[in-house]
Structure 1
Amino acid sequence: MKIPFGLTPSLETYTNLAVFLLGALCLALPSGYSIAAVLLLCASITLVRQRRALSSLSWQIHALMLALLAYWLSFLPTLTELRELDGASRFLLALPVFWFLLSIRLSPLFWWLGVMFGALIAGLLASWQKWGLGMPRAEGFTHVIQFGDLSLLLGILSLAGVGLVLQGQGRQRTYLLMFALLAGSAGLLASLLSGSRGGWIGLPFVAWVLWRAYAPWLSCRLKFILLASACIVPLLIYAIPQTGVATRIHAAWQDIQLYQQAEVNTSLGARFEMWQLAIDLIPQRPWLGWGETDYMQEKQALITAGQVTPVIAPFDHVHNDLLDATLKRGLFGLLTLLALYLLPIFYALPYLYTSCTSTRALATALSLIPITFIDFGLSQTLLAHHSGALMYPLMLVCVWALLEQQIRHKQDLAAS
């Protein structure tokens, strides 16, 4: 394949390495997710020289670019301090990175291996912290919830990589299959050891997506084994005290019972109160929202008046991405977030059933990224934190660019 737009092989190598590091260093170092982001942003400066025309891109790519821009714009109407743009700026910076990645030849294997190494590192780190250091919950080098959610993301994407080797033979296929399964298990283990139970809610749906994508290649015997494992393994994990899963589930059930008795000073109780406050405030400013500053001031006024519990005073978000977007940025903010969730899923949907396993694997990964973030966002405002606000748009544009390249390559072969 001819290198497009005069890009050099050294730049291709640099970019593929950065794509690898996005997953591999995500949780391996403090702010490890920032390293690849800086590398990719620096590489995107070459667009000034290349000047690729936007008109050559598909309407779906234009739609995602517009959604990334609109997400950033949704913060402006209620902006009072520049720091409020910190998280949103990462979505804006994903624009030149996306444009650049569409202009260069990428190796899907670099991205897949990066995700798998990242999941494996997360599993080892979590095991060391939980069982070696005796920490109550593994937290890596970030907040415990972000660590658990991003570990789960890497583990799920590693399992999606199994689709790469469902067809074919040879020792290399066996090694890659074993590595993908090991990495997937490590990512799931890290999530369990973190005790970040909010991310576990969507696991049945994730399993259903993986099943629909890869079941046609599985034998009846293997299907039976997988279904039996899906029933037995969760029970074993729950029964083993060292995982801490039973403790976290019991704590959640206790929080719910206490909340029914008007006790809100618990993890779930505080969330219920924040969600209720958001639901009460949204109708008062439905179009552009309250903004962070006005929301915090209104919340404090309600606390002072005794109408809201002081338990929720320290939190500047409401532990739910969709509610937080609607509360602070109104209907405009909600629609931009929904666009960023749904556009990748609809783009990937036609390729979830293609006969090409590498294309199907990328389409599965692209659909699972927003699905997992929707899941994480049910009980945590992950996009309000640096790790989530960086990993979501960058993972999205990387996998989209890889899938787009794969599709173009197949079309070129069919036309030749």
Structure 2
Amino acid sequence: MSKFLSVSIMLVLSACAFIVPAASVNYPSALYYSAIFLVFSGLLFLLNNSPQQPLSKLEKFMLGSWLFYPAITALDLWFRVGWIWTEFQEPSRFILVLPIYFMVRRVGFSQNALKWGVWFGAVAAGVWAFYQKQYLGFHRVSGGTSGLIAAFGDISLLLGVMSVAMFQPNWKMNPLFGPLAAVALLLGVYASLASGTKGGWISMPLLCWVMVDLLDKPTYKKRFLVLFTFAFLALLVWYFVPFVQQRLSMIVPAITEYFVHGKVADGSAGIRLALWHSALLIFIDNPLFGTGPGSYYIEKIPLVEAGLIPTEAGPHLGPHNQLFNSLFETGIIGAIMVYSIYFSFLLLCRQHLQQNKALAITGILMVVGYMDFGIAEVIWDINNAGVFFAVMIAMIAGKLSHDKNAANTAIGVNASV
């Protein structure tokens, strides 16, 4: 491949690296078009270029998890449940992003483009939230997502913390970069709070814990100090913001009412407990292979009729939890498939902490965030949240591997000279 072509592809990939996070919850159509463009570009690239560097064992494990999940889902749909395209949409994304990974791994892209895309995405989300909350009077804001409140709140929060990570190399170079990253963090957190997405709020302590790794010498003392500071600030927000009080006030009563009396006390926490309970009962009866994708609504009916779960769980509500969703669909194998995708990517990022701390921790924050978001939502099923995750892990993993291969090649050249 000529140097001109390589540089041209790198510039195009850099533009996409900016658009994907910038548009994620602010203008999702641009996210989808960028993802489609990347997939077809990656396919054309692979048809004309063979991989030069061999895959590491960890890369093989990660890519294998991307293939295993859709393959097992496809076999399950084909031979047991009957083909349902909508049920295959989510797992198929991990096949579609494979060409993106290999293209980025070979050519790379500008990390600065990704950094500013993340920053712009967080800032724009905060502006969206302020406008919808203060001027339009929305009770719960959704930014540019056309009503996908959970996705907006979750990804806005992620963009905020990822901005801090992406700017980490610039902290010592210029003191202005610290406040710049802080602006993105505050606006991302504000967007999350204004959305009322409690599933995102659950992740904040763990995200704070991970962000301590951005320091030169992270210690447990610093981690607990950050957690204490977060707890103090969270208490202030709860005390002075009635909207947050309202969203949190029913959690403990709803949990108590469900576990003590088996009744649903509200339309959020109580309903979720009933839905999780349903999925768990289905899994207990079918622990190895589950009952198949799309079977939750049918399997839930006998449980309601037998009085094992409250009628409020309803026939048209999904499990609202990624773990329970995987357990009822394909049993323990399903949970292994889903979480192997998370943990293989997390291990890959940890492997590159010394080489590229900012990007590696950005990837870890994504995994930790999405695993926590999955407590309250089947997060990959939300279209723009699922597309954003799949494309971002392909680009981040590809970039980390590209930089490592480039460094190894440079060392080899220097050694030969």
The equivalent of 1:392 in structure 2 is 389
User: CA shift at 1:40, angstroms?
Assistant: 1.0
Residue 217 to residue 304, structure 1, CA distance change in 2 (3 Å)? closer
Higher mean Cα deviation, 19-28 or 208-217?
208-217
The equivalent of 2:153 in structure 1 is 148
User: CA shift at 1:152, angstroms?
Assistant: 1.2
Residue 198 to residue 227, structure 1, CA distance change in 2 (3 Å)? closer
Question: % of aligned pairs identical?
Answer: 25
The equivalent of 2:205 in structure 1 is 204
Of residues 378, 385, 388 in structure 2, which corresponds to 1:381?
Answer: 378
Report the 3-state secondary structure (helix = DSSP H, G, I; strand = E; otherwise coil) of the residue aligned with 1:379: coil
Contact 1:78 1:289 in 2 (8 A): no
What is the alpha-carbon distance in structure 2 between the residues aligned to residue 277 and residue 224 of structure 1? 37
Provide Cα deviations, 1:107-161, integer angstroms capped at 9, x if missing partner: 1111111111111111110111111111111112242111111111111211212
Residue 319 to residue 225, structure 1, CA distance change in 2 (3 Å)? closer
Map of 1:295-314 to 2, 5 A cutoff?
Answer: 295-314=296-315
Map of 1:237-252 to 2, 5 A cutoff?
Answer: 237-241=237-241, 244-252=243-251
Map of 1:12-411 to 2, 5 A cutoff?
Answer: 12-53=10-51, 56-79=54-77, 80=82, 81-140=84-143, 141=145, 142-168=147-173, 173-214=174-215, 216=217, 229-241=229-241, 244-259=243-258, 260-264=260-264, 266=266, 267-352=268-353, 354=354, 359-411=356-408
What is the alpha-carbon distance in structure 2 between the residues aligned to residue 224 and residue 314 of structure 1? 44
Residue 391 to residue 174, structure 1, CA distance change in 2 (3 Å)? same
User: CA shift at 1:32, angstroms?
Assistant: 4.2
Contact 1:91 1:393 in 2 (8 A): yes
Report the 3-state secondary structure (helix = DSSP H, G, I; strand = E; otherwise coil) of the residue aligned with 2:340: helix
Report the 3-state secondary structure (helix = DSSP H, G, I; strand = E; otherwise coil) of the residue aligned with 1:102: helix
Report the 3-state secondary structure (helix = DSSP H, G, I; strand = E; otherwise coil) of the residue aligned with 1:324: helix
Contact 1:24 1:117 in 2 (8 A): yes
- CA RMSD in angstroms, aligned pairs only: 2.6
What is the alpha-carbon distance in structure 2 between the residues aligned to residue 94 and residue 300 of structure 1? 37
Residue 262 to residue 299, structure 1, CA distance change in 2 (3 Å)? closer
Higher mean Cα deviation, 223-232 or 197-206?
223-232
What is the alpha-carbon distance in structure 2 between the residues aligned to residue 226 and residue 276 of structure 1? 34
User: CA shift at 1:305, angstroms?
Assistant: 4.4
What is the alpha-carbon distance in structure 1 between the residues aligned to residue 151 and residue 110 of structure 2? 28
Partner amino acid, structure 1, of 2:24: C
User: CA shift at 1:31, angstroms?
Assistant: 4.1
Residue 225 to residue 294, structure 1, CA distance change in 2 (3 Å)? closer
Partner amino acid, structure 2, of 1:254: P
Contact 1:22 1:35 in 2 (8 A): no
What is the alpha-carbon distance in structure 1 between the residues aligned to residue 215 and residue 250 of structure 2? 36
What is the alpha-carbon distance in structure 2 between the residues aligned to residue 175 and residue 157 of structure 1? 17
Residue 400 to residue 27, structure 1, CA distance change in 2 (3 Å)? same
User: CA shift at 1:297, angstroms?
Assistant: 1.4
What is the alpha-carbon distance in structure 1 between the residues aligned to residue 225 and residue 53 of structure 2? 49
User: CA shift at 1:54, angstroms?
Assistant: 7.7
**Unpaired runs of 5+ in structure 2?**
none
User: CA shift at 1:214, angstroms?
Assistant: 1.3
TM-score by length of 1: 0.89
User: CA shift at 1:351, angstroms?
Assistant: 3.6
Residue 119 to residue 304, structure 1, CA distance change in 2 (3 Å)? same
Residue 226 to residue 62, structure 1, CA distance change in 2 (3 Å)? closer
Provide Cα deviations, 1:173-213, integer angstroms capped at 9, x if missing partner: 33433322211211111101111011211211211111133
Report the 3-state secondary structure (helix = DSSP H, G, I; strand = E; otherwise coil) of the residue aligned with 2:62: helix
What is the alpha-carbon distance in structure 1 between the residues aligned to residue 400 and residue 99 of structure 2? 18
